[in-house]
Chains A and B, each alone.
Chain A
Amino acid sequence: GQQVMQIPQYQHVQEGEDFTTYCNSSTTLSNIQWYKQRPGGHPVFLIQLVKSGEVKKQKRLTFQFGEAKKNSSLHITATQTTDVGTYFCAGGGNYGQNFVFGPGTRLSVLP
């Protein structure tokens, strides 16, 4: 079945440094979503990417969907302590299949 992996599993950065998490699928995806979960909270939807090679920005966050639609990345520029949390990607298969979640990347930001 479809598998979605994320790397790294953990990332510790100093405030102000950049951060990137990568999401890789074993199969071609129809689209991909990213979620953020703050410590003690629940995953919150961030964005959805649909087109091959698509790049979207939300303030300091840049999301990219690979040309082959099998991988994606989330890049945070100049991290802040408010960026702390776990970032999940979820890959949607074709034919309207539901999303499969990656294991998440846990980000710690040291002040």
Chain B
Amino acid sequence: GAVVSQHPSWVICKSGTSVKIECRSLDFQATTMFWYRQFPKQSLMLMATSNEGSKATYEQGVEKDKFLINHASLTLSTLTVTSAHPEDSSFYICSAPDYPGTGPDTQYFGPGTRLTVL
């Protein structure tokens, strides 16, 4: 079945550095991908919608210049946390919907990336 992968699965970085997280749809094309962040024991919070070939749509309160999203191809979206600070430490999850056209739509979640900023 369809799979969404994320890389890296975990990353530790120093404050002030930038971190790039990749989200890939492995056997289907995703014109749209969603990026979430999740703090322990809390619910998923949608950060932005990544659109292939156009600008991402950010949710209210999410800094566009801090969380850079690039949807470079139909199978890859990247989230770059720029000038990361300890408060950015979180679990980042992407999801990609599969709209096959001939069957029901399905949402696939990536395994997540745990970011720790020292």
Q: Which residues of A are interface residues toward B (Cβ below 8 A)?
A: 10, 30-31, 33, 35, 37, 39-40, 42-43, 45, 48, 86, 88, 90, 92, 96-99, 101, 104, 106
Contacts and interface: CB of A to CB of B under 8 A. Distances in A.
Nearest to A37: B107
Interface string B7-43: 0000000000000000000000000001000101101
A31 B43 CA distance: 11
The secondary structure that dominates the A interface is: strand
A98 B46 contact: no
The secondary structure that dominates the B interface is: strand
A10 B13 CA distance: 42
Contacts of B105: 39-40
Nearest to A108: B104
